[in-house]
Amino acid sequence: MRYNGLPTHLTSSDMSLQERIYQQFTDSIQTKHDALECLPDSIELAAQTVVQSLLNNGKVLTCGNGGSAGDAQHFSSEMLNRFERERPSLPAIALSTDTSTLTSIANDYSYDDVFSKQIRALGQSGDILLAYTTSGNSKNIVSAVNMAHDRGMSVIVVTGKDGGTIAAENLLQQGDIELRVPSQSTARIQEVHLVITHCLCDLIDFQLFG
């Protein structure tokens, strides 16, 4: 018997489902361990880069697509509100939150331009672009990186897999930073992206407020 096209009973045993849960946790832990082996120096440098920008009256513009948009918004909300301590608000703007702007740019021009046109208007020399892309191939992120350079901004990209177009075409310039998670799984990459985001927030607060 089916309800709305779905079976009314499970064909997998409870043990098989438990095993899948165990595997998800195990894979996540392993990916975090692998990232811990290669990313701490780059995460530290990224946090220092953001702090230097903030001390010079700069701001952070963040962007991403899908789950990566959620990561970008997560970072900006922790900056604007607070992370784990009471402290002054810090300037950050998530470029994926204004649906009127996003849809007008996508409709009138191209979805590839939804972030770069905002960066052209809002970005200034000394600001930071913090871009999240699990593949490194998103065309609107590539455009955003190029526009950030045009505006004299430093770029921090949080990626995975082989770094995609951003790595293959050597889009990053001196002073830019790539935080690449060593995994081929989008889910595992995004889980580590969250840890990286929290590391950045913690290190920024620690350097600015002790």
63-101: pLDDT as tens digits:
999 999 999 999 999 999 999 999 999 999 999 999 999
pLDDT number for residue 3: 46
Q: Would you say the C-alpha torsion 165, 176, 131, 26 has a positive or negative sign?
A: positive
* Lowest-pLDDT choice from 11-20, 77-86, 121-130, 170-179: 11-20
What's the token pair of residue 125? Answer: 């020399």
User: What is the pLDDT confidence band of residue 13, given thresholds at 50, 70 and 90?
Assistant: low
User: What is the pLDDT confidence band of residue 10, given thresholds at 50, 70 and 90?
Assistant: low
pLDDT number for residue 12: 57
Give me the residue label for tokens 């590539």.
142
pLDDT of 137 > 70? The answer is yes
